[in-house]
Structures are given as structure tokens and as C-alpha cells.
């Protein structure tokens, strides 16, 4: 479904991001994954290469909150491959700090990584996508962007921002053949959720009509659809991948 495409995936070393990278590779894309540290990048690449030595995958670890560093890496990828077809902004950080305990520095840290970093990757990519006649941008939002959450207000605030960025850019960039969408995962079996005891997981499942927690591959499948020609007329959507969670 993605044969010959060049894809950049931030936060691609584990969890949902890793599943997206793998799904894209399985479907013929060449993928550059971004991670927070070189050692996590190397570990992810080794795991992927072990699974299939033929996959064309590489990695980098630019600081996503440093606009110049990200732009330089995007330019380097473009020089190597001649294009960037797909950008997936998956990197982010969750938050559960109550408002009374949240100082301005902590709030800004969440916004920096979950919103500013997304923009930092989008801006240089858009410039290149306009020149090449189109592209696809997918941002990772969250079900809390719709429902909010009781605590950790910086996180839903940031994901509301991601939604606004997604919808507005879809309207702005459509004229250049650039589609912009987001996925909004619900409770998903990432490392954090997998570490929860069973007595904490069961009450969560009760809120999900489909009767199970989501898997990273569920989100990856949505990202595959949005990146493919099957979604060629889909832009400005926030696609919920949450099993119809009831909040």
C-alpha cells in the first residue's frame, strides 16, 4: 500500500510509533524513525532488521523541541531520498499532574513536546511537500482531546492543540495536495498500560464497548489507511481509534 513512499515517524522506537514504523515497512515504505536517544534508536533498528533484513529503515534522534535541529534532519532526509511523502508526528508525553501542583514550567514542557515539536517537524516538511506536489501528514492526538481528563490538564490541552493544528492545516494545505489528519487513540496497550495490575485494567475495559484494550497495531492500521491512496480524499479528520470508549 505504500510501495516507494518515504516516511518519517517521530517517537518511532517503541509502542504505537514502533508499530507504525513496522506497518509502513511491511507495506513497502522506506522509513526514518526518530527517537529521543541514540541508544533507543539503535535498539529499535536492530529489532526491525532482525525481523526483516530487507526492510529499508534508518533512524535519528534530533531534539524535537529545537526547530533548527529538526529542520536540518528533515533536509538531510530529503537530500538522501529526494522526497518525503509521509510525516507521522507520534512523539509526545502524557501527564497526570493535578492543576494545583502544576507549575508554569511543567505545563510549558508538555506543550513544547506535544504541540511545538509537532509544528517544528511540520513546517520544514510542508515546504518540501509543496515543491514535490503533495504529501501526507498524520498527527497523534488522543481520546482526551474530545473528553478531557480529571487531572493532568496540560495533556488534554496539548491534544486539543494538535486537533486545531490538524484541521487548520488541512484547510490551508489542501490546495498543494497535502493531506493532514490525526488519529486519536483510546486506552492502548503501551508499556505504561501493560505495567498496570489486572485489577486496574478491568475497570478500564468496562468503559470500552468493544470489550478490550486497544493494541498499538490498531492505531498503526489507522495510520496505514490515512497514509495510503485509500484515503486520498480524506483530510482534516481526527480519527478515533478507541473502541467507542464511553467516558
Cα(21)–Cα(41) distance, integer angstroms: 12
Contact (CB, 8 A) for 216 and 189: yes
Q: Strands of 6-10's sheet, edge to edge?
A: 57-60, 30-34, 6-10, 86-89, 135-140, 178-185, 238-241
Active-site residue among 24, 81, 147, 155? 155
In a domain? residue 231 = yes
In a domain? residue 118 = yes
CATH number at residue 27: 3.40.50.720
**Is 147 a catalytic site residue?**
no
Q: Residue 171: what pLDDT?
A: 98
Q: At what angle do helices 15-26 and 38-51 cross, to 10 degrees?
A: 40
DSSP conformation class of 230: G
DSSP conformation class of 217: H
pTM: 0.95
Total of domains in the chain: 1
pLDDT (tens place) for every residue of the chain, 247 residues total: 999 999 999 999 999 999 999 999 999 999 999 999 999 999 999 999 999 999 999 999 999 999 999 999 999 999 999 999 999 999 988 877 788 888 889 899 999 999 999 999 999 999 999 999 999 999 999 999 988 888 889 999 999 999 999 999 999 999 999 999 999 999 999 876 776 677 878 888 999 999 999 999 999 999 999 999 999 999 999 999 999 998 7
In a domain? residue 76 = yes
Q: Residue 89: what pLDDT?
A: 98
- What number of residues does the chain have? 247
DSSP string computed for 60-122: E---TT-HHHHHHHHHHHHHHHS---EEEE---------GGG--HHHHHHHHIIIIIHHHHHH
Distance of CA 174 to the CA centre of its chain: 20
In a domain? residue 73 = yes
Cα(67)–Cα(23) distance, integer angstroms: 28
Q: Residue 196: what pLDDT?
A: 65
Domain that residue 148 falls in: 6-241
- Give phi and psi for 34, each to the nearest 5: -105, 140
Helix (H) / strand (E) element for 58: namely strand 57-60
In a domain? residue 246 = no
Cα(192)–Cα(93) distance, integer angstroms: 12
In a domain? residue 1 = no
In a domain? residue 247 = no
Cα(238)–Cα(244) distance, integer angstroms: 14
Amino acid at each position: 500500500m505504500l510501495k516507494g513512499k518515504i516516511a518519517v515517524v517521530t517517537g518511532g522506537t517503541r509502542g504505537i510509533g514502533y508499530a507504525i514504523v513496522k506497518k509502513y515497512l511491511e507495506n513497502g515504505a522506506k522509513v526514518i524513525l526518530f527517537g529521543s536517544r541514540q541508544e533507543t534508536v539503535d535498539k529499535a533498528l536492530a529489532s526491525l532488521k532482525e525481523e526483516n533484513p530487507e526492510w529499508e529503515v534508518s533512524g535519528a534522534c534530533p531534539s524535537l523541541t529545537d526547530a533548527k535541529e529538526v529542520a536540518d534532519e528533515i533536509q538531510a532526509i530529503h537530500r538522501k531520498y529526494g522526497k518525503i511523502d509521509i510525516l507521522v508526528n507520534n512523539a509526545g508525553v502524557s501527564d497526570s499532574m493535578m492543576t494545583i501542583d502544576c507549575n508554569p514550567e511543567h505545563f510549558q514542557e508538555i506543550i513544547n513536546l506535544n504541540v511545538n515539536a509537532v509544528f517544528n517537524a511540520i513546517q520544514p516538511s510542508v515546504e518540501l511537500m509543496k515543491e514535490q506536489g503533495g504529501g501526507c501528514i498524520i498527527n497523534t492526538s488522543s481520546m482526551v482531546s474530545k473528553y478531557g481528563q480529571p487531572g493532568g490538564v496540560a495533556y488534554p490541552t496539548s491534544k486539543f492543540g494538535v486537533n486545531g493544528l490538524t484541521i487548520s492545516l488541512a484547510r490551508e494545505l489542501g490546495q498543494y495536495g497535502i493531506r493532514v489528519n490525526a488519529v486519536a487513540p483510546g486506552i492502548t496497550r503501551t508499556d505504561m498500560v501493560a505495567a498496570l495490575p489486572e485489577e486496574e485494567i478491568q475497570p478500564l475495559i468496562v468503559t470500552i464497548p468493544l470489550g478490550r484494550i486497544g493494541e498499538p497495531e490498531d492505531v498503526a492500521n489507522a495510520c496505514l489507511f490515512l497514509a495510503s491512496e485509500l484515503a486520498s480524499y480524506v483530510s482534516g479528520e481526527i480519527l478515533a481509534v478507541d473502541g467507542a470508549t464511553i467516558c
